[in-house]
Chains A and B, each alone.
Chain A
Amino acid sequence: MNRRSNAPVFWLLFGAGGMLSALLGTAMVYLSGIAAPLGLPPAAGLLDHARMLAFAQHGLGKGFLFVTVSLFAWHAVHRIFHSLHDLGVHNGAVAKVACYGTAAGVTVVAGAALLAVGW
């Protein structure tokens, strides 16, 4: 029986998330975590409830949020999983389930929340 490896799937998610976070992550952290809470330009008022709700209800905003949140998670856990060995932690089934399970959980929760906010 020629069983195919699942490694390329995880690697693809890692690569896509790595590229997306490298391109957009720094600006996103600045906007959502620093500029908007402090009322600094260009994000003063960006996190107002009505604005964020409209963004999350729009197809493009919904897609952007789902793709960034889930791919960031898949990128991060793949990298953490492979670094565990460097820190002397065995990359066994437990570590694998904990890492990829976290990303799967983030994906499901983010997807459910984005469906719950409506269209």
Chain B
Amino acid sequence: MNVTRKAAGRRPYVRPMGGWWKRDPFFVRYMVREGTAVAVLAYALVLCVGLVRLAQGEAAWNGFVDALRTPWSLLLHAVLLVSFFVHAKSWFEIMPKTMPMMFVRGERLAASAVTRTGWAAAAAASIVMLGLAAWGVAS
């Protein structure tokens, strides 16, 4: 690219693209949505470390739990919690565009119906998770 430009003896205008996503609120929302992937990876790594510590025995595991109690860990998990919520919200907002079209009685299923169904499923799954945790602690 540079070689051709030099050979041609000209420097054509190239539109600067640095920070392009800050130009439009739509792009900012896009980057925030894609950014939740960093939180998902961070949480997977935290859980993976926890599994390794669990395999190493009780003392190692208790050290991991102590680490979870530190302010930095709690702050990290607060950020992760918000990120996962944003991910869940946006995942089902995009879903009407990523899934095959569905037709009910000859009419295309509305995007809002898909999104609301997804949110309801996520809410139900969350309640089941919390319920299972309560049952696990009680038993």
Contacts and interface: CB of A to CB of B under 8 A. Distances in A.
Interface in B70-96: 73-74, 76-78, 80-81, 84-85, 87-88, 91-92
Interface size class of B (residues with CB under 8 A): 35 or more
Interface residues of A, number: 58
B87 A21 contact: yes
A85 to B, nearest CB: 11
A53 B130 contact: no
A16 interface: no
B37 A27 contact: no
B134 interface: yes
B91 A19 contact: yes
Interface of A: 17-19, 21-38, 41-47, 49, 51-53, 55-56, 65, 68-70, 72-73, 75-77, 79-80, 82-83, 86, 88, 102, 106, 109-110, 112-114, 116-117
